[in-house]
Amino acid sequence: MAPEEDPPAPPATPDASPPSPDAFEPPEEPRLAGSPHATAANAAILALTRAARSFTLYDPANKVVRALIADYRDRFRAVLDGFGPLALDVHPFELVLGREVIYLERDRERSLAFRLFRDGVRRISFAAETTWDERLRLLQVLSIRYTGVRQQEDDLVTLLRKAGFHGIQVSATEGFVPGEEQEEGDLEDDAASGERERHAPAPQWDLPLPPFSEIAPLRHRPVAPDLLARLRGEEAEETVSRHALRAVAELLQSAGPDDLPAVLGFALEVREHLLVERRADLLVELARHVRHALGASPGAAAAFLESWLDARTLAMLVGSLRADEAEIPAPLAEILDAAPGATLDRLIDLLTEEGDGPRAPLLRRLVVRACRHAPGTIGARLPGAEGPLAVTLLRLLADVEPAATLRAAIEAAAKDDASLQREALLHLERAPFSPETARGLHHLVLSKHEPVRLATLPVMAARGGPRVFPALRAHVEKHAARLSVAEAEAAGRALAHASARPALDTFGEWLRPRDAGFLGKLVKVQAGPPVQRVALAGLREIAGPEAEELLQLLAAHGEAGLRPQAAAALEARGKGPSRG
């Protein structure tokens, strides 16, 4: 094995004609749009094949194997729990769910479909209640066929039947059906046709070796400690990742246009290994090598990197940064800029998942930076977004397109989403007051969610002043019966802060009896308890004898529960309640 050193960066190959982006489709990942069931099934089968093939590369106790087996367990459980039984038809190179291809691999050495079809399997079904023990036995069977080399081993059908499955059903045929596979000719026919020379194995093949007449003594020579340390270092787990990266770099440097798709497929396999090993630094280096190799065709490079930077890879790369990272490292920035389209959407998804977590500022900066390549993306996604995603997009819009934020906040205020309405309130509070701002605030005052209304009332009063006083009064008079204690007090304070003089006149109109005759003498306070509470809260905010007179009225003749509060307000001003 070559000594460990940093792999060279492959130069661009401008002389070679750049292949099309379609030539870079990763193996085992057909570019077919499928239903959610097909997508989940595709992920489960890929996890199964990766776990089965891992035994050809790693020791069974290796942590990579354990991680791949855990991924296989989780993805199969997800498809069975989410969609019920899974029935797959087996074709020579494809696995089909209903009418959708969920697995396609034309390399016979790697293809699970080919191994199943070659041994006679035509359909394999998984019941929804298939246990993990059965799925683990299936993995053991497949790993045996991936690692087996002797022809006398049992075929897959035999191994599957010996496993004694209950939740896994296998439909198989004895031998090939005509037309499914071309039979090979006899050795004599090949020799007669002159196609190629074949030799039968020796009679002693696979038998014990004959005894040797010459016997030499076996002598052991100790290996020097430094040589032994170097030998162990070449095979250590921490160096395997860098050796794999070096192999990709050397292959990319020497690959021609016809070989490039196969090398890129190998690069994807190395990416899976680096993801399991959590080597974010080497993931960036791997992406840079691929980008340099495709430098002669920027479109092809962007197409491949957009598929390469999937959600898992991007989450790993971002997770390697500190939450307080001031500057994005140049190598990572180079990769993110090389594939801006899909990267932006995936960064937005990561920011939505983070919410108000510690990495939210970092992700926000990454999204704003990515928006330089597509400034209209946020505004285009916002109208159809809901829940946390809509909140995230509205926050981002203020950084990316400030001019469009006010209109988006007004539209968000009209939606029945408490979190989105609270976010819209923040933007309306910062915007210059205008009829459009007042309309958005009025939407929020009429929200179905009381916390939103409580937060909006003081903002509306402070921003609008006398201009919003009529709307606040109309809101109280129309919805007085439904006002809770907290909302009634918030509405009273909002009226007083919006305009004190109209508020005093309004409170007097509500509280003083309207009939000066006999009925007026009987009815001491005109308004009902909810409106009295609104007036009491507002009068506490207004100084002067008129306010104290109305407080005296409430302390003497108001609703029983409010009288002590009115009296306390008078005492706080040094005025005791009157006894009249």
CA 475 to chain centre: 42
Q: What is the pLDDT of residue 78?
A: 92
Q: How far apart are CA 535 and CA 530, in angstroms?
A: 9
pLDDT, position 202 = 59
Structure tokens at 531: 């409106």
- The 10s digit of each residue's pLDDT in 541-575 is 988 888 888 888 888 888 888 889 888 888 888 77
pLDDT in tens for each of the 580 residues of the chain? 333 344 444 444 444 444 444 444 444 444 444 788 998 999 999 999 888 888 766 666 778 888 888 899 999 999 999 999 999 999 988 999 988 999 998 888 888 898 888 888 999 999 999 999 999 888 888 887 555 544 445 677 888 888 888 889 988 886 544 444 444 444 454 445 545 455 555 554 555 556 667 777 778 888 888 888 888 777 776 788 888 888 888 888 888 878 888 888 888 888 888 888 888 888 888 888 888 887 767 677 777 777 777 788 888 888 888 877 777 777 777 777 776 666 777 888 888 888 878 888 888 887 877 777 666 777 777 777 788 878 888 887 877 777 888 888 888 888 888 898 898 898 888 888 888 888 888 889 888 999 999 999 999 999 889 999 998 989 888 888 888 899 889 999 999 999 999 989 888 888 887 655 444 444 456 677 888 888 888 888 988 888 888 888 888 888 888 889 888 888 888 776 655 4
DSSP 223: P
User: What pLDDT, on a 0 to 100 scale, did the predictor assign at position 147?
Assistant: 55
Give the model's pLDDT for residue 497: 92
Which residue is listed with tokens 């439909």? 171
What pLDDT shows up at residue 9? 43
Degrees to nearest 5, angle at CA 390 with 386 and 394: 155
What is the C-alpha separation between 64 and 70, in angstroms, rounded? Answer: 10
> In terms of C-beta density within 10 A (0-12 exposed, 13-18 middle, 19 or more buried), how is residue 222 classed?
exposed
Q: In the beta sheet, which residues pair with residue 100?
A: 97
- Annotate 143-212 with DSSP letters as a single string: HHHHH---TTS--HHHHHHHTT-SSEEEEE-SSPPTTTSPPPPPHHHHHHHTS----PPPTTTTSPPPPP
Cα-Cα-Cα-Cα dihedral of 506, 512, 513, 517, to 10°? -120
Minimal CA–CA distance to 508: which of 495, 525, 490, 491? 525
Phi, psi of 190 (to 5 degrees): -65, -40
Residue 91: per-residue pLDDT: 92
